[in-house]
Structure 1
Amino acid sequence: MISSYPRTVRYVANFEKLGIPQASTWLTELELSELSFWKDSSRRSQWLAGRWIAKRLVARSSQVDILREVEILSRGADGLGKSPAVSVGGMASACRLSISHSNQAILVGIASSHARIGVDVASCVPETRSFRSHWFSDQEVKWIENDVSNRLPVAWALKESIFKACGDGSKWDPRSVELVSIDKNQVRSRIHGLDVDPLTTWVRATNQGAATAVWSNTSGQEVSLCS
């Protein structure tokens, strides 16, 4: 369903500036049911902002004018979160979608079916030595400790981005993802000890951490930013 580009990464630093309409005007009944899962008002606002951006990206790529024609569901029958499943006009879409939010920041990535994509916004990551030794390998710690304040949130966000893009659907465990090397625009990694094909990266520093995106198949990339 991706018509003119294989991937887009959209970052919004402060979703409160978006002016999102009333949820019932653009969410489907099943999406409203997922919204009801969130009782905390700030989490509801974050969820709504992520869905608003994601649905607009899907609608744009699918040449759909009505947002309620796009449905994004990310909670299973057991109530647990899962990778977003997208449908357009009642038909399942093969596009890949990843959504992350933290405080006022929202990051959304969309890719065609043949490409992997994962995004994450990390903020207020603990800088204690015990945290690093528990969740990171010795090699990762060595890289982080050259510049803890800047590299720690990047490494944490990259781990989750890679897991979202290449994971097998198992429960998120930061230790299952190992960062082998991080270059300017590429990361090499392993998941559960198995090598992952190199992924293109996008990294942006935020007020309280970092926002990262990873994707496969680097031809024809589009990166769209807004604040």
Structure 2
Amino acid sequence: MHPSARLHLLPVAVAAAEAGAQGQDWLTDAERQRLQAITSPSRRDTFLAGHWQARVLAAQWLQLDVGRIALDAHADGRPLLRVDGDAAPLQVSLSHSGNWLALALADAPVGVDVELPRRVRDWNALARFVFSPEECERVEAADPAMRADVFHALWTLKEAHGKRSGAGLQPRAARALTARPASPAAAEAFGWRFGNGALALALTPGTRLERTEGVAGSPACWHFTESVGSSQGQD
């Protein structure tokens, strides 16, 4: 049986209100310490929203009481779900931008990224920092009115890939990787245009996207290949 994945997108305010209704007894000691270090009210809401929803969605998938689920971290920083203290048979990835929270769960490594830009940037210059030569050409060749869309579609794919591997977005490694369109059957990543930004999901090859909630429209399908003649530059 192929592994499967689920993607959820929801407003932070809704998820934060649900988390707030539970009090804070559900937090682990480590999570409570992290929360105490966060001074921004909006960041506190986002932290609570994401950590509570990860528990709720994992409990629904595993058909367990949510009180048995906890959120820890892998050695590489990726979030780690636990059931009764032991590692759960599920992987989780979280991302937030603006007022939105994205969560992906799968029974294989998974990465998700959502980006809602707040200002106009030099998209060509940013692309040269982390994109392969082929991807840079796509951004530069785009109509100026669409350049930000092309950039964010590729940027979120890079971020999601880094989260899937646990390595994060490392510029040198990112420049050596190219996201190319794929057929649905061969896709290992999916991308959606979202507001003035983008949403991307990177799956372990062979994983089936079983369900999406809160995500509108059909996704673009992608796969990752090694770049030819990638620019090394400086990290």
Q: TM-score, normalised by structure 2?
A: 0.75
Give the RMSD, CA atoms, in angstroms: 2.7
User: What is the identity, as a one-letter code, of the residue corresponding to 2:210?
Assistant: E
Structure 1 residue runs of 4 or more that deviate by more than 4 Å after TM superposition: none
User: What is the identity, as a one-letter code, of the residue corresponding to 2:150?
Assistant: R
Which of the numbers 11, 16, 21 marks the counterpart of 2:13?
A: 16
Describe the SS at the equivalent of 2:58.
helix
CA distance in 2, matches of 1:85, 1:55: 11
CA distance in 2, matches of 1:158, 1:209: 12
Q: Which has the higher strand share?
A: 1
Describe the SS at the equivalent of 2:93.
strand
Does 2:173 match 1:176?
Answer: yes
Offset from partner CA, 1:13-57 (integer Å, 9 cap, x none)? x22134323341432333222322322211111111211221111
Which of the numbers 129, 133, 140 marks the counterpart of 1:134?
A: 129
Which of the numbers 180, 195, 198 marks the counterpart of 1:207?
A: 195
CA contact (8 A) 2:123 2:151 kept: no
CA distance in 2, matches of 1:98, 1:148: 27
Distance 1:220-1:211 versus aligned 2 partners, 3 A rule: closer
CA contact (8 A) 1:84 1:98 kept: yes
**Corresponding residue for residue 232 of structure 2:** none
Compute the displacement of 1:75 (Å).
8.1
Describe the SS at the equivalent of 2:77.
strand
Does 2:83 match 1:88?
Answer: yes
Offset from partner CA, 1:96-142 (integer Å, 9 cap, x none)? 11111111111111111xx2211011222734432222232221111
CA contact (8 A) 1:50 1:106 kept: yes
Pairs within 5 Å for 1:1-227: 6-12=4-10, 14-18=11-15, 19-22=17-20, 23-65=23-65, 67-74=66-73, 82-112=77-107, 115-124=108-117, 126-145=121-140, 146=142, 147-167=146-166, 169=167, 172-177=169-174, 178-183=176-181, 200-218=188-206, 220-226=208-214
CA contact (8 A) 1:34 1:75 kept: no
Q: TM-score, normalised by structure 1?
A: 0.77
Compute the displacement of 1:204 (Å).
2.0
User: What is the identity, as a one-letter code, of the residue corresponding to 1:117?
Assistant: V
Describe the SS at the equivalent of 2:48.
helix
Deviates more, 1:86-95 or 1:217-226: 217-226
CA distance in 1, matches of 2:103, 2:183: 18
Task: Report how many residues are paired.
Answer: 203
Alignment gaps of 5+ in structure 1: 187-197
CA distance in 2, matches of 1:203, 1:44: 28
CA contact (8 A) 2:102 2:113 kept: yes
Distance 1:199-1:47 versus aligned 2 partners, 3 A rule: farther
Alignment gaps of 5+ in structure 2: 216-235
Distance 1:223-1:48 versus aligned 2 partners, 3 A rule: same
